Each structure stands twice: as structure tokens, then as C-alpha cells.
Amino acid sequence: MSPSTAALLAGLVLLFPLAGSALCGLIGPVLGRRFVNLAGTLSIGAAFAVTLVIFAQVLGAASGHQSTTATLWNWLDLGPGNLNVSVDVTIDQLSVLMLLVITGVGLLIHVYSVGYMEHDPGVARFFSYMNFFIFSMVLLVLAANMIILIIGWAAVALSSYLLIGFWYERESAVLAARKAMITQVIGDVALVIAAILIFVNLKSVPQICIPPPGEVCALQLQSSQHLFTLSLPQIFANASSLGAGSALITLICILLAVGAFAKSAQFPLHTWLPDAMEGPTPVSALIHAATMVTAGVYLIARFHPLFDLAPIASGMVACVGMGTAVMAGFIALSQVDIKRVIAYSTMSQIGLMIFAVGIGAYAAGMYQFLLHAFFKALLFLAAGNVIHAVHDEQDIREMGGLDSRMRVTAWCFLVGSLALAGFLFAGMFSKEDLLGFGLINGPGAPALYIVGIVVNVLTGLYAFRLYGTAFRGEPRSDAARNAHESKAVMLWPVVILAGLSALAGWILQWPIAFGPHLIDAFLNPVFTSPGSGPIAKAPSLGLGVIGFVIGVTCSLIGIAIALRIWVRRDLDPSRVLARPGLRLLPRLSFNKLYFDEIYDALLVRPTRALARGLRRVGDPVMDSWIKGVSGVATDFSSAFRTIQTGLIRDYASYMVLFVVIFTVAVMLAAGLAK
């Protein structure tokens, strides 16, 4: 693909959602619901069509030529040694994979939203925000310049903020939106600091360029002018001048990771994600499950040349990812809000992705991202159907028995739950794949692997607790008794996603369910390109089979226990949990390990107390100073009161008088000195 083609296609993918956002937001309220539904959905459909063209181009390109970087225009040019920003886009296997999910799953969710937002008066605003989110996300994944990437990064946070607070009449929604924004900004600041560090340390090094095979190095031209534009290929080509394993590159990578953690809701910046479920359910499906929260995974995968050089930072990323996976799985066990359970499962699954990219198994992480996008969007949309059917009730204790009333949704939800738990469907492939890498890679391998199989058990448990409680048994409320199936426009996206969740793994990995898969072959050129370091070693076939069997077995154990407790109800966990050592566990889980309370006590309250204390101390101290100073000034100026006539023209006269005297004096002095 030539750079001009790449620029054209990338421009189109960016343009369609942006135009859709502008159309819906500006003239949507005037032209009405039908126009908004059409414009909001068609724009994403057009973007998806262009994405398919890009995908075909990348697939058709010769080996080694799939990656194209094009400069749309030079945004900021302050000359050599200064900041230069060019609007670069890169089209390679990684960005195409992201684009496919963003626009493809995005399209399905937009179609679903037409039904979900049918009675909402703010539908124009909703589609405007959603389209703007798609635009920001596309900008984020296409960006080949760190500044542009940060702009996309901040823009997705903005659209997330707007959409969480979409129902702004609710106080809880506004608070949740604010919480999400503040957490995101912590990550943004970390990214900006990382960009500054990179810029300061690389702006003056001689630019090294490694040309792609059979091509002339385009960067060489820039290097002669010493223009450092913060473009990603340039950063990666010169990453080694930061010093492999040095404190500097470790710091940069940790800052990048903090940015990724904030976006992907990883410990300790995870508390915003469950609250973000205040937004409409399609938002939760698109932004807080399928795409935006996985941007952190993308960021680390995109910056793999830096992370390859910083093993300490990568190890930290892997540990945080796995820790979050366990923590979120544990909390998900006792939540009662259907969307919050899925939110915690998202957090847990993204933890696994973060773990994968932390140990260098980038392709495995992106594989999990792809399949997770399918089944998590499916779960959220199905949950949206349920919430719709039981009249905005989200508490699973008020549901039950929905499987006979909403047959299609229930089957799709079952597929999603199996995919999530990792048996038969999507999750089985991607999760066991990345855990397989964990057997021999990462800090203290296979310690984190063992934690990983605990996550498998937990996943099976909470996935089927949710399914069992919400869909099986007897209805526990009138709303659940009177529930009925949703309309076709809300059903078809769910069915399509269910099909994808069920089949995608099998297709991509035919004929064997472990070992290499198509995504691996597709993405690895990106991660093994010249200039980047070693990637994680794949486990041998034998080890892979053993890991696969252990993983699936653990998932099945979790599923089986969950089915006995919450579907057949012949196992009562309360007796086990009543033991002295375990009595605390349910309370910890139900209260989300008290993270909100801890942050409140550690950050919010001390800040408030400090402000109060400073005010108490500050008032008398500062006032005495100020009053003293002003008193002196008052006494002093009362002496000069007589010339204060209050007439502005008099003051101007004094000024002119002295300006003239001063000027003439200076001139005279200069003349005398000559």
C-alpha cells in the first residue's frame, strides 16, 4: 500500500464517524429520531466498509510491506531541536485488527442502540457522542505520532465522560463520570510526562533509521535535518539510545503503563470502571468492555520496542495485570448488579491481557482482546435486553427464570458465559493461549501461571453465578415474571455476536485448539520487526497441551461448582464460608475490597483535612501579614493624599510630566556621553 493510499483510507475512516458525530449533534435534534438513527449508524457502517478495504489491502500486501506510515500534514514545525508534530497515521496488522473490532463491533452496537434508545429524548446527543467516541478511538489506534496518540487518548476519555454522564439528571451518573474523568486524567498526565521524557532525551540524538527490506529509508531524509517529530517509528528506531534496561527507559515504560492502567481499569486505578456502568448499556458494551478499556493493552503492544528494553517495567505490568485479574474475579463473585458483575469480569479479563503483553506475548494479548470484544459486547447487550425486559431493574436478586421468557437472549447469554468462562467457545482459545505463554515467560514463571488458573476457576464461578441467578430458577419479582423478549433490532446484534463468540475461536485456530493460531501469524511481523527485541517464547506443543488441559479443567471446576450452588442448589457455600478464617471473604468481596473507602480515607479525607487545617492556620497568620502591610501602605499614602484630586486627567498629567523629563534627560545624557 502506498503512503498516499494509506493516507486516503485512514482519512476516510476518521472522517465518517466525525461527520456522523457532527451531523447528529448539530442538525440531529432538528431533523428528528429517524435521521439520527440513520446518520449515526450509516457513518459507522461506512467506516467499517473502509476498514474492510484496508484489511484486504494489508492481507494482500507482500510480506514485510504490510506496514505503511503516512503523514497527513505537518501540524507544528518549530525547526530543528524544537517540538515538531506531524499528523502521522500508521496502517499495519495491529492497527487493522483494532480498527476491525472498533468499527465492526461498533456497528453492531450502534444498530442495537437504535432499539435501546428508542424512547430516550436525547438520542441525537447519544449518537453524536458515540460517533465521536469511534472517531477518537480510530484516531488513537491509527496515530503514528505520540502527540496525536495522546490527543486520541484524551478524546476517548472525554467521550467516555460524556457517555457515562449521559443521563445527567442522575446524581450518581454525574459522580461516576467525574470519577472516570479524574482517573483517566491521571493516566493522561503520565503519558504526557512519558512523551516529554522521550522528547527531551531523543530530540538531539543522531537519528538512526532501519529501512524496511527492499526500501529506501524515508527517515534518513529527516535525520539529516535533525527533525525529531515524536513519530512512533522514529521513537522506536532510536529506542536503544535510551539505554536498554536503564532507569530512564524503565521510568518511561512505567509512566506508559500507568497511562494504560488508568484506561484499562487496572489496579490501583480501577475503581472508576464499575461506577461507569451508570451510562446506557450500549455504552458499557462498546466503551467499557470492547474497545476503550482495551486501549491500554493496545498502548503497551504498540510501544513494545520500549517495553522489550525495560524488563523491570514489563514484569511490573505482568504482575499488576494478573493481580487485577484475581482481585476483580473475587469481587465479581458477590456483586448483585448485573452490569457491575460484567464490569468486574471485564476488569479481570483485561488483567489477563495486560499480563500477556507484560510477559511479551503481545499477539496472545491481542487475540484475547479480539475474542473478548465479541463475547463481552455480547454479554452487555444481552444484559441490556434483560434490563429492558424487567423495566430497568439491574439487581439480579430481582430476576430469575428468564430463560423461558427470553429464550434467544438466554441462549446467547449462555454462549457468552461459556466463552467468558473459557469452555468450548471463544475464551477457551485465547485465555489458554496466553496462560500457556505464562508457563515459561514472565517474572518467576510459572508462579503467575498458577495464579492464572485460579482466575480460571473464579471466572467459571462468577460467570455461571450470574447466568444461574438471572436466568434460571423461579422469577423473584413481578417484573421478571412479566418479562418478554426484545425487538429484532436489539436481538440481531446479540445473535451475531453470539455467533462470532462461538465460531471465531474455532475458525482462527482450526484444526487444533492450542498452539499457533492465525492471529499469531498475522500479528507477529509487527512484534518481530527490525528494531524490536525478543518476544515471548511459545511453549512447546507438549507443554501447550498440558497447560490447555489444566486450564480448561479449572474452568470446568468453576462452572461445575457454580452450577451446583446457583442452579441445582444442592451445595450451600454459606457453611464453608462460616468457618472462622473464611468469614471475612464474602464481606470483602461484596464491599469490593473496600477500595473506595480506602481511597476516601487515604486521599480524599486527608486533602480535605489539610485544606481545613490550612485555612484555620492560614486565616490569622496570613491576615495579620496582609493587614500589617496594608496598614503601612495606608499610613504612607495618607501623607500623599493632598495631590490626589481624583481626576484621571491630573494623574495623566503627572505621568506625562515625568516621562518627558526622563526622556529629555536620557537624550541629554547620551548626547553628552558621545
Partner 1 sequence: MNVLLAILLILAAISALGVVFSSQTIYSALSLVLTVGLLAVVFLVLNAQFLFVVQLIVYAGAVMVLFVFIIALLDPAAEDRPRFLDLRLILGVLAVAALCTAVFVAARNDVTYDTSCTTQAVTCMHGYTVGSLAATGDQAADPFHTFGFPENAVNRAGNVQTLANQLFHTYVLPFEITSLLLLVAAVGAVYLTRRVAVGPRRDPQAEQRWRDDLVEGAE
Partner 2 sequence: MTLSQAMFPWLLLTAAFLFTLGALGVLIRRNPLVVFMCIELMLNAVNLALVGYSSYLNSEEGQVFAFMVIVVAAAEVVVGLGLLTRVFSIGRELDVDDLDELKQ
**Using CB under 8 A as the criterion, which residues of the chain lie in contact with partner 1 when the complex forms?**
78-79, 649, 653, 656-657, 660, 663-664, 667-668, 670-671, 674
* Grid cell locating 320: 499488576
* Grid cell locating 192: 504526557
3-state secondary structure of 359: coil
216 binds partner 2 (CB under 8 A): no
Nearer to partner 2, 216 or 655 (CB): 655
Determine contact, residues 116/384, Cβ cutoff 8 Å.
yes
649 binds partner 2 (CB under 8 A): yes
Nearer to partner 1, 580 or 646 (CB): 646
Least Cβ distance, residue 661 to partner 2 (angstroms): 13
Query: Out of partner 2, partner 1, none, which partner does residue 119 contact, by CB within 5 to 8 A per kind?
Result: none
Q: Segment near partner 2 (CB under 8 A), from 158-166, 264-272, 521-529, 648-656?
A: 648-656
* Grid cell locating 18: 466525525
φ, ψ of residue 117 in degrees (nearest 5):
-95, 20
Least Cβ distance, residue 651 to partner 2 (angstroms): 8
Determine contact, residues 191/296, Cβ cutoff 8 Å.
no
Query: Out of partner 1, partner 2, none, which partner does residue 541 contact, by CB within 5 to 8 A per kind?
Result: none
Query: Out of partner 1, partner 2, none, which partner does residue 582 contact, by CB within 5 to 8 A per kind?
Result: none
652 binds partner 2 (CB under 8 A): yes
Least Cβ distance, residue 110 to partner 2 (angstroms): 45
Nearer to partner 2, 610 or 664 (CB): 664
Least Cβ distance, residue 663 to partner 2 (angstroms): 9
642 binds partner 2 (CB under 8 A): no
Query: Out of partner 1, partner 2, none, which partner does residue 336 contact, by CB within 5 to 8 A per kind?
Result: none
Q: Segment near partner 2 (CB under 8 A), from 215-223, 233-241, 520-528, 655-663?
A: 655-663
Least Cβ distance, residue 652 to partner 2 (angstroms): 5
Residues comprising the chain, all counted: 674
Query: Out of partner 2, partner 1, none, which partner does residue 644 contact, by CB within 5 to 8 A per kind?
Result: partner 2
Rounded CA-CA distance 589/261 in Å is: 22
| Cα 573 from chain centre | 35
119 binds partner 2 (CB under 8 A): no
Nearer to partner 2, 53 or 656 (CB): 656
Pick the binder of partner 2 from 488, 653, 662, 664 (CB under 8 A): 653
Least Cβ distance, residue 185 to partner 1 (angstroms): 23
656 binds partner 2 (CB under 8 A): yes
Nearer to partner 2, 503 or 666 (CB): 666
Least Cβ distance, residue 78 to partner 1 (angstroms): 7
Q: What is 437-491 written as a DSSP string?
A: HHHHSSTTTTHHHHHHHHHHHHHHHHHHHHHHHHHSS---SHHHHT--PPPHHHH
Q: Look up cell 470492547; give the residue.
A: 290
Rounded CA-CA distance 39/127 in Å is: 9
- Residues in binding contact with partner 2, number by CB under 8 A: 12
Please give the helix or strand (H or E) that residue 249 lies within, else none: helix 247-264
Nearer to partner 2, 246 or 638 (CB): 638
Determine contact, residues 240/169, Cβ cutoff 8 Å.
no
Least Cβ distance, residue 668 to partner 1 (angstroms): 7
Determine contact, residues 213/64, Cβ cutoff 8 Å.
yes
Nearer to partner 2, 34 or 641 (CB): 641
666 binds partner 2 (CB under 8 A): no
Please give the helix or strand (H or E) that residue 663 lies within, else none: helix 648-673
645 binds partner 2 (CB under 8 A): yes
Least Cβ distance, residue 441 to partner 1 (angstroms): 48
Q: Segment near partner 2 (CB under 8 A), from 43-51, 193-201, 238-246, 647-655?
A: 647-655
Rounded CA-CA distance 78/88 in Å is: 17
Pick the binder of partner 2 from 119, 646, 670, 671 (CB under 8 A): 646
Peptide bond into 606 cis (omega under 30): no
Q: Segment near partner 2 (CB under 8 A), from 98-106, 238-246, 625-633, 639-647?
A: 639-647
Between the alpha carbon of residue 544 and those of residues 115, 437, 440, 491, the distances in Å are 44, 9, 10, 37
Query: Out of partner 1, partner 2, none, which partner does residue 62 contact, by CB within 5 to 8 A per kind?
Result: none
Query: Out of partner 2, partner 1, none, which partner does residue 648 contact, by CB within 5 to 8 A per kind?
Result: partner 2
Q: Which residues touch 278 (CB under 8 Å, ≥6 apart)? A: 164, 165, 167, 170, 172, 173, 176, 177
Q: Which long-range contacts (CB under 8 A, 24 or more apart) does 221-229 make?
A: 225/80, 226/80, 226/81, 227/80, 227/84, 228/84, 228/199, 228/202, 228/203, 228/204, 229/84, 229/85, 229/86, 229/88, 229/145
Torsion over CA: 52, 54, 57, 63 (sign): negative
- Here's the x/- map for partner 2, 592-631, by CB under 8 A: it reads as ----------------------------------------
Torsion over CA: 317, 183, 102, 498 (sign): positive
User: Looking at this protein, which amino acid is placed at residue 60?
Assistant: G
* Grid cell locating 592: 469490593
639 binds partner 2 (CB under 8 A): no
Determine contact, residues 55/96, Cβ cutoff 8 Å.
yes
User: Looking at this protein, which amino acid is placed at residue 152?
Assistant: G
Nearer to partner 1, 62 or 647 (CB): 647
Nearer to partner 1, 210 or 666 (CB): 666
644 binds partner 2 (CB under 8 A): yes
Q: Segment near partner 2 (CB under 8 A), from 261-269, 448-456, 473-481, 651-659?
A: 651-659
Determine contact, residues 378/290, Cβ cutoff 8 Å.
no
Least Cβ distance, residue 73 to partner 1 (angstroms): 16
* Grid cell locating 466: 450470574
Could you tell me which of 129, 80, 411, 151 has the C-alpha nearest to residue 286?
A: 129
Rounded CA-CA distance 101/374 in Å is: 8
Rounded CA-CA distance 122/155 in Å is: 21
Q: Segment near partner 2 (CB under 8 A), from 42-50, 73-81, 512-520, 653-661?
A: 653-661
Query: Out of partner 2, partner 1, none, which partner does residue 646 contact, by CB within 5 to 8 A per kind?
Result: partner 2
Least Cβ distance, residue 636 to partner 1 (angstroms): 16
Contact positions toward partner 2, by CB under 8 A? 644-649, 651-653, 656, 659-660
